[in-house]
Chain A
Amino acid sequence: MDPEAARTARDSLELAFHMSNILETGLDRHTLSILIALCEIGLNPESLAAMVKELRRESRPPPPPETVAPLP
């Protein structure tokens, strides 16, 4: 993979992760990256969100959001 592309991808992920934290979604970086990959494949975000919700519902109240790394 082109290092430039890799950097862009990493940056994008980082940004998305920050946004996710601001929105208090409670997703960790890895999960988020999987979700983004699925979105990129063309899966419907609505159904993805529904899935995340449903699977989480089984769990206990989500942990407090991870500490956000300060923005570069």
Chain B
Amino acid sequence: MEDDDQRVVDLVKELVHRLLYTSQQSNQQNPNPSYTQQEYNQALKYALRILSSRMTPSISADDDAMAESIKRRLATAGKSSEALTFADLYSKFSHKSGPGSVKNKWAVIYLLKTISEDRKVRQNQFANRISNGFLDSALAGGLPTLFDNDELNGSSGGFGKLSKNSSVGGLNDGVDDLRGSSGNVRSIRGLSNLDKSVKNRGERNSGAYSDSFSGLSENMKSWKGLGDNARGLRARENVEKLYKGGILTMSKDPENIRDMAYREFADLIKEENEVMEVVLVRDVLYACQGIDGKFVKFDEKVDGYVLPELIKVPKPTRIMVQKLCELGWLFRKVKGYITESMDRFPAEDVGTVGQAFCAALQDELSEYYKLLAVLEAQAMNPIPLVSENAISGNYLSLRRLSVWYSEPMVKMRLMAVLVDSCKVLKGGAMAGAIHMHAQHGDPLVNDFMKRLLRRVCSPLFEMVRSWVLEGELEDIFAEFFVLSQPVKAESLWREGYRLHSSMLPSFISQSLAQRILRTGKSINFLRVCCDDRGWADAATKAAAAAGTSTRRGGLGYGETDALESLVTEAAKIIDKHLLDVMYNQYKFKEHCLAIKRYLLLGQGDFVQYLMDIVGPELSEPANTISSFKLAGLLESAIRSSNAQYDDPDILDRLRVKMMPHNTGDRGWDVFSLEYDARVPLNTVFTESVMSRYLKIFNFLWKLRRVEHALIGVWKTMKPNCVTSRFFTKLPQAVKLQLILTSRKCQVLWDEMNHFVSNLQYYIMFEVLEVSWSNLSKELEVARDLDDLLGAHEKYLYSIVEKSLLGERSQNLNKALFKLLDLILRFRSHADRLYEGIYELQSRTSDSYPSRDKSRLQRPSSNKSSEPGSWLGEGRKDLTKRAGEFLRNMGQDIDTIAKEYSSVFEGFISQLPIQQHIDLKFLMFRLDFTEFYGQLRPTTGGKLLF
């Protein structure tokens, strides 16, 4: 840097020297003395001051455009051959590259152009030598004063000095009075405009000219927003002088009368219209930035920019202005939305997507500002024309502006539409709405929307990414399409998170959204319920597998494939990890099996033992039973069956549960077993699932109990030698009755036993085992927790349905329970019958107490040898009572049998109606001999006829 600075200073010194020296040399004949050392130093100081000022070129750096403009200018000036030479030189110059070539070509060209323009201005002055000195000063500082009212006096003083100085031709203190260098530049630009206008009006008489010029100077004043009449007059004076000089230079214009007439006409038009197009163009440019122009102003009532009626402009111009001002209206709308959103941001939820949308709009607007700035800069430049004689208006006319505006107009319209449709939306819904607008055939619109959407969607995609890979829900403004709800751990999976369909943008399909939801849910489930740390590794693996798109902000709109592959990959790995944890760490399958063995009574010896041991206890009224005692009994049932070899963790979870009981309930009605699944397995074995298990358990338990009861009855009623010997001793009538009754009882028992054992068989082998094997198969192929839940749900459902416990088989279920109740009633009757028989037996033996023992020892002799001992009063009475008892019992059993057979018939006739489950085999087993099948048609026939 130091070197550079030093080099600059050296070069500048050299330059100043050369500049001064050349002038001196060329003016050797001049009587003025050569430059003194002091003057040299002053000049150097001044040069350095100029250089250190912050002057910047007013146009953007574009070498080709610059060269083109120079070429055109030369051509316009009638030097077409030079223009060609210049073009040739320039192309050679611009092709020089590599070491030693000029790098900053643009700067060089620009420098040359500026100096050349300066020279040309000076040459014009020389044409008018009289006013040379004054004009020179006017060029240097005259015009800038138009814009600097505050230093009016000082500057006019400066002019005097300057003009004097320049006529003398030396540098002196006067230069210090020069304003800021930017003022100089402006003056030069302004002047070149003036110069142009002078050229244009070369042939005009001075009166008309000064009129039109007053308009121009007014323009310039308002353009800079400063100035007053005095300045305007002064400027006009200056230019009039300039114009006088102009005659000389412009005198070579071809004498084309037609052309001249046309010009006159054009000027007439200009005079007629109070407002010139230049002003309107400027106003439109302002309006398009949302600022009121001089004439074009925003009207709240009309809701748009209007040109007041008072102003006299031709109708087409008016319409054109109105059309162009639409852009301003749209701009106001978009800008208003952005400011509004940003204003309410801290207080209200704008949402990250909304903020991104605003930022994207802001960016688009800044592009738009750039265009406006360029247009504004170009507005005053003349259109380069090939021939000199054509009128060269300002670069921007309304018509040109309308061409320039066509593209921003489309964009701005789109933005305004988006702003309108997105005002009330946020988050995913907003992205979705914009996406709907992006479905457009026009490539311009399409690209624009894509660019916008990339910005808008970036927060959304970031949310997806962190949700899928980290399980984090960074969604303060509820914009994401996954919603979380505070729930307990066991329902985290089912209810903790759900899709928020209105926030789901349409470019993410429902199934993809489901997968996204599940992946994040799995991570959260692992973290919260399974207390697992391995998911982080799994997520890293998933990230690595999905490739590059996993970095922060790596995903974007339009890369649905990348998103999908990321989600798929992450889902696969995390689901697998989750299932591993469920199977291995939490032993899901083992617990399922345990439930099947204990709650679904799959462990036969255990159930048998439990039934035996708790049976007497459960016959008591429910309110007298202690659940602690039952727990103890359960424990001993486990200890004495094969269940003792099971995993203690599993046995630990098995509990006795007493259901709430009503008065009159027996222990049987309230007793049940319970399995405590604990977190995280209670996600599968939820309370509702467990209550269904309980329902199944109660049914199976009742079935077992009925079976148990029937076996108990059989124990008492099965024919043995004691009873048969007793029968023979009875009188004929009683004996016959007894045999008849017990026969009835046996037949009914047999029927019941047939039913119960077949039903039991069906439940055990065709319901439980089949469902279990299906479940095992499905667990093998399950790929995620939802599959697992589904498989288990199916398993439970099939058990419930097939066990006739479902909603649709309610009638059947009622009949079934009625049958079971009837069997239990039968059991009590049969018990009473046999109790009666035994009592009778003991009564008869009571009459011979001494023989009791011997009878047992020698039954046959006792029975046959003393039949006569039964005769007598007591015996007759006894016989009568026994006959009565047996008759009653017989009647009771008859009613039960009748009721049983009618209910059973109803049951069996309903079986084929159950279409949703396969009861063919149950039917077949129950009616193996077609005994019931033959009965039914007859009853049916009876009903029919």
Q: Please tell me if the beta carbons of A24 and B101 are within 8 angstroms of each other in the complex.
A: no
Interface string of B1-39 (1 = CB under 8 A from A): 000100110011011101110111011001000000000
- Interface members, chain A 9-58 (any B CB < 8 Å): 9, 11-12, 15-16, 18-20, 22-28, 30-31, 34-58
CA distance A33 to B274 in the complex (A): 51
Contact of A7 among B26, B70, B100, B115 (CB under 8 A): B100
Q: Please tell me if the beta carbons of B100 and A9 are within 8 angstroms of each other in the complex.
A: yes
- B90: chain A residues at CB < 8 Å are 19
- A18: chain B residues at CB < 8 Å are 85, 89
Known: A31-B22, A56-B23, A60-B27. A15 touches B115 (CB 8 A): no
* A30 nearest CB neighbor, chain B only: B18
CB distance from B126 to the nearest CB of A (A): 6
Q: Please tell me if the beta carbons of B50 and A34 are within 8 angstroms of each other in the complex.
A: no
Contact of B96 among A8, A26, A30, A56 (CB under 8 A): A8
Chain B binding surface SS class: helix
Q: Please tell me if the beta carbons of A31 and B104 are within 8 angstroms of each other in the complex.
A: no
- B181: chain A residues at CB < 8 Å are 47, 50
Q: Please tell me if the beta carbons of A46 and B57 are within 8 angstroms of each other in the complex.
A: yes
- B423: chain A residues at CB < 8 Å are none
Q: Please tell me if the beta carbons of B85 and A71 are within 8 angstroms of each other in the complex.
A: yes
CA distance A45 to B22 in the complex (A): 21
CA distance A34 to B12 in the complex (A): 8
Contact of B111 among A5, A39, A41, A63 (CB under 8 A): A39
CA distance A71 to B24 in the complex (A): 29
Q: Please tell me if the beta carbons of A49 and B114 are within 8 angstroms of each other in the complex.
A: yes
Q: Please tell me if the beta carbons of B116 and A16 are within 8 angstroms of each other in the complex.
A: no
- A16: chain B residues at CB < 8 Å are 93, 102, 108, 112
* A57 nearest CB neighbor, chain B only: B166
Tell me if B344 counts as interface (CB < 8 A to partner A).
Answer: no
Q: Please tell me if the beta carbons of B15 and A34 are within 8 angstroms of each other in the complex.
A: yes
Tell me if B169 counts as interface (CB < 8 A to partner A).
Answer: yes
Q: Please tell me if the beta carbons of A45 and B57 are within 8 angstroms of each other in the complex.
A: yes
Q: Please tell me if the beta carbons of B114 and A59 are within 8 angstroms of each other in the complex.
A: no
Q: Please tell me if the beta carbons of A19 and B96 are within 8 angstroms of each other in the complex.
A: no
CA distance A49 to B8 in the complex (A): 15
CB distance from B676 to the nearest CB of A (A): 81
Q: Please tell me if the beta carbons of A46 and B100 are within 8 angstroms of each other in the complex.
A: no
- A39: chain B residues at CB < 8 Å are 102, 104, 107-108, 111
Q: Please tell me if the beta carbons of A50 and B23 are within 8 angstroms of each other in the complex.
A: no
CB distance from A56 to the nearest CB of B (A): 6
Q: Please tell me if the beta carbons of A55 and B98 are within 8 angstroms of each other in the complex.
A: no
CA distance A60 to B466 in the complex (A): 76
Tell me if A6 counts as interface (CB < 8 A to partner B).
Answer: yes
Known: A9-B101, A34-B18. A50 touches B50 (CB 8 A): yes
Contact of A50 among B18, B104, B113, B184 (CB under 8 A): B184
Contact of A38 among B15, B136, B170 (CB under 8 A): B15
CA distance A62 to B26 in the complex (A): 8
- B120: chain A residues at CB < 8 Å are 24
Contact of B99 among A8, A36, A45 (CB under 8 A): A8
Tell me if B118 counts as interface (CB < 8 A to partner A).
Answer: yes
- A60: chain B residues at CB < 8 Å are 23, 26-27, 30, 169
Known: A39-B111, A41-B7, A71-B85. A59 touches B18 (CB 8 A): no
CA distance A41 to B51 in the complex (A): 13
Q: Please tell me if the beta carbons of B111 and A8 are within 8 angstroms of each other in the complex.
A: no
CB distance from B117 to the nearest CB of A (A): 9
Q: Please tell me if the beta carbons of A31 and B19 are within 8 angstroms of each other in the complex.
A: yes
CB distance from A24 to the nearest CB of B (A): 6
State the interface size on chain B (CB cutoff 8 A).
71
- A28: chain B residues at CB < 8 Å are 18, 22
- Interface members, chain B 583-600 (any A CB < 8 Å): none
- A15: chain B residues at CB < 8 Å are 89, 92-93, 96
Tell me if B82 counts as interface (CB < 8 A to partner A).
Answer: yes
CB distance from A2 to the nearest CB of B (A): 6
CA distance A62 to B116 in the complex (A): 12
CA distance A13 to B501 in the complex (A): 70
Chain A binding surface SS class: helix
* B46 nearest CB neighbor, chain A only: A54
A interface, size bucket? 35 or more
Q: Please tell me if the beta carbons of B98 and A61 are within 8 angstroms of each other in the complex.
A: no
CA distance A60 to B58 in the complex (A): 29
Known: A6-B100, A38-B11, A40-B102. A48 touches B27 (CB 8 A): no
- A40: chain B residues at CB < 8 Å are 102-104
CB distance from A52 to the nearest CB of B (A): 6
Residue from the set A5, A23, A42 with the largest chain B CB neighbour count within 10 Å: A23
CA distance A60 to B216 in the complex (A): 32
CB distance from B631 to the nearest CB of A (A): 94
Tell me if B47 counts as interface (CB < 8 A to partner A).
Answer: yes
CA distance A15 to B104 in the complex (A): 14
Q: Please tell me if the beta carbons of A45 and B8 are within 8 angstroms of each other in the complex.
A: no
- B929: chain A residues at CB < 8 Å are none
CA distance A62 to B30 in the complex (A): 13
Tell me if A69 counts as interface (CB < 8 A to partner B).
Answer: no
Tell me if B110 counts as interface (CB < 8 A to partner A).
Answer: yes
Contact of A12 among B57, B93, B113, B171 (CB under 8 A): B93
* A15 nearest CB neighbor, chain B only: B93
- B136: chain A residues at CB < 8 Å are 57
- Interface members, chain B 173-217 (any A CB < 8 Å): 175, 178, 181, 184-185
Q: Please tell me if the beta carbons of A55 and B115 are within 8 angstroms of each other in the complex.
A: no
CA distance A36 to B104 in the complex (A): 9
Tell me if B451 counts as interface (CB < 8 A to partner A).
Answer: no
CA distance A67 to B373 in the complex (A): 42
- B109: chain A residues at CB < 8 Å are 19
* B44 nearest CB neighbor, chain A only: A55
- B86: chain A residues at CB < 8 Å are 19, 22-23
Residue from the set A1, A16, A30, A63 with the largest chain B CB neighbour count within 10 Å: A16
- A62: chain B residues at CB < 8 Å are 23, 26, 119, 122
- A43: chain B residues at CB < 8 Å are 8, 51
Residue from the set B14, B24, B116 with the largest chain A CB neighbour count within 10 Å: B116
CA distance A44 to B122 in the complex (A): 23
CB distance from A68 to the nearest CB of B (A): 9
- B8: chain A residues at CB < 8 Å are 38, 41, 43
Tell me if B717 counts as interface (CB < 8 A to partner A).
Answer: no
CA distance A34 to B108 in the complex (A): 11
- B934: chain A residues at CB < 8 Å are none
Q: Please tell me if the beta carbons of A5 and B12 are within 8 angstroms of each other in the complex.
A: no
Tell me if B614 counts as interface (CB < 8 A to partner A).
Answer: no
Q: Please tell me if the beta carbons of A8 and B19 are within 8 angstroms of each other in the complex.
A: no
Q: Please tell me if the beta carbons of B93 and A19 are within 8 angstroms of each other in the complex.
A: yes
CA distance A53 to B111 in the complex (A): 11
- Interface members, chain B 903-927 (any A CB < 8 Å): none
Tell me if B857 counts as interface (CB < 8 A to partner A).
Answer: no
CA distance A62 to B928 in the complex (A): 132
CB distance from B175 to the nearest CB of A (A): 7
Q: Please tell me if the beta carbons of B55 and A46 are within 8 angstroms of each other in the complex.
A: yes
CA distance A49 to B189 in the complex (A): 13
Tell me if B485 counts as interface (CB < 8 A to partner A).
Answer: no
CA distance A65 to B203 in the complex (A): 30
Known: A38-B11, A61-B122. A49 touches B100 (CB 8 A): no
Pairs across A and B, CB under 8 Å, 24 listed: A5-B99, A5-B100, A16-B93, A19-B93, A19-B109, A20-B112, A20-B115, A23-B70, A23-B74, A31-B18, A34-B15, A41-B7, A43-B8, A45-B57, A49-B111, A49-B118, A50-B50, A52-B115, A53-B114, A57-B166, A58-B20, A59-B19, A59-B20, A63-B26
**Could you list 17 further interchain pairs (A-B, Cβ under 8 angstroms) beyond the known A47-B50, A59-B23?**
A5-B100, A7-B100, A8-B99, A9-B101, A15-B92, A18-B89, A22-B86, A37-B11, A40-B102, A47-B51, A47-B181, A51-B50, A53-B115, A55-B20, A57-B136, A58-B23, A59-B20
Using a CB–CB cutoff of 8 Å, the interface residues on chain B facing chain A are 4, 7-8, 11-12, 14-16, 18-20, 22-24, 26-27, 30, 43, 46-47, 50-51, 53, 55-58, 70, 74, 82, 85-86, 89-90, 92-93, 96, 98-104, 106-116, 118-120, 122, 126, 136, 140, 166, 169-171, 175, 178, 181, 184-185
